[in-house]
Amino acid sequence: MTTTPATDKRLPRVDALTGLRWWAAFFVFLYHMLVLAPLPTVSAVLGQGYLGVTFFFVLSGFVLTWSWSARVTTSTFYWRRFARIYPSHIAALILAIPVFYTLSAVPDATWLKPFDAGILALSVVLLQGWFLNPAILFSGNPAAWTLTCEAFFYALHPFFSRILTPLIRRGALVFALITVVVAFLYRALALAFPDAWFSAAPQPLVHLPEFVLGMGLAWAFRQGWRPRLPIFVGLAAIAAVVIAIVLLPGFMPGSLPAFLITGFGTELFAVACALAIIAAAQRTVAGKHSAFASPLQVRLGEWSYAFYLVHASFVYIALRIFGVQPVSWWNLLWFAALLCIALAAAAALHHLVEKPFERRMRAWKDAREAS
């Protein structure tokens, strides 16, 4: 018996994924807080918070494909993604420039950069993420390099969707598996040939398999795939990868497990994120409640994009004024204070810029298409 692909079947909103998105943003916040207020014992774990962006990329591919509709034209899709991310990006960039740039001589602080209009222009148009030079990659708002990746992913999404459209669930799962194999194969080649031209690829290319993995899994769901996977398995996998990255190189130096987790940590983390995402999606489709779908977590998840964009600016404002704090558990007070400030700014950015501009820009596009 063959299965006809449900090319335009839309699945229900998954609030649990919105809640999980908040925790990924919070993990990135903890990572950045270490430059200001390091903590005893747990700093090594929090130092892996940069992996939160990998969760964003897998989730982005999953959610966009989960909600994809064949009735939406490619131009409309592009405009809606532009309306979603760009206004907040510009607002956060305006906040970040006086924090991370100076017109005077640059002191020893490596994060404070001389003002350069040309480099900043790359950040304005979201091209900075294609450069390997850290002064360009992290230019403007340092967190915004991920938006270069997202813009690239959005550009490719309609084309990958055409590949996925004729596939039934098994084909979609094979598609997802191939992206995982490609990611591991690339990393293996980069480790084997560190001086080769391909070993230092731009971030959008390095992270593309994470986005495409999310797409393949979402399409499998749209074709009726229903894995029986408890959410704790995905969360345990995420925790296991992080703990292994922290502990194995120290406890088993030079061993094969330490080499594998050091070399393939990001790829393993992407697989763990995929497990958590499909488990959360499965609970929603099955009509079950998720612990990550509480109203508070969903609200924080809705603010998470704005929070991600602005939190580093406030961390570095504090760093510029107060300097690095001694290692202490008292630094948790800094974590709490900066979290509250960044959340307040994120709420303002979400309600005053992100949503109003998105609504108006989408309405403008809809009116043009209707005329």
Which string of DSSP letters, residue by residue, matches 162-212? Answer: HHHTT--HHHHHHHHHHHHHHHHHHHHHHHH-TTSGGGG--HHHHHHHHHH
Give the pLDDT score at 14: 87
pLDDT for position 1: 35
pLDDT tens track for 180-217: 999 999 999 999 999 998 899 999 999 999 999 999 99
Q: How confident is the model at residue 12 (pLDDT cuts 50, 70, 90)?
A: confident
How high does pLDDT run on average in the chain?
A: 93
Adjacent-strand bridge partners of 113: 101
Question: Which run of H or E residues covers position 103?
Answer: none
Cβ atoms of 65 and 164 closer than 8 Å:
yes
pLDDT single digits (tens) 267-296: 999 999 999 999 999 988 888 888 899 999
Question: Residues 74-89: what's their mean pLDDT?
Answer: 96
pLDDT at 78 over 70: yes
Determine the pLDDT at residue 144: 97
Q: What is the DSSP string of 199-213?
A: GG--HHHHHHHHHHH
Q: What are the structure tokens assigned to 226, written together?
A: 């229903």
What local confidence, expressed as pLDDT, does residue 5 receive?
46
Task: Give the pTM.
Answer: 0.94
Q: What is the pLDDT of residue 106?
A: 65
pLDDT of residue 3: 43
- Interaxial angle between packed helices 15-33 and 332-349, expressed in degrees from 0 to 180 and rounded to the nearest 10: 130
CA separation for the pair 44, 203 (Å, rounded): 24
Phi, psi for 114 (deg, rounded to 5): -70, 140
Residue 13 has pLDDT above 90, yes or no: no
Average pLDDT over residues 63-80: 93
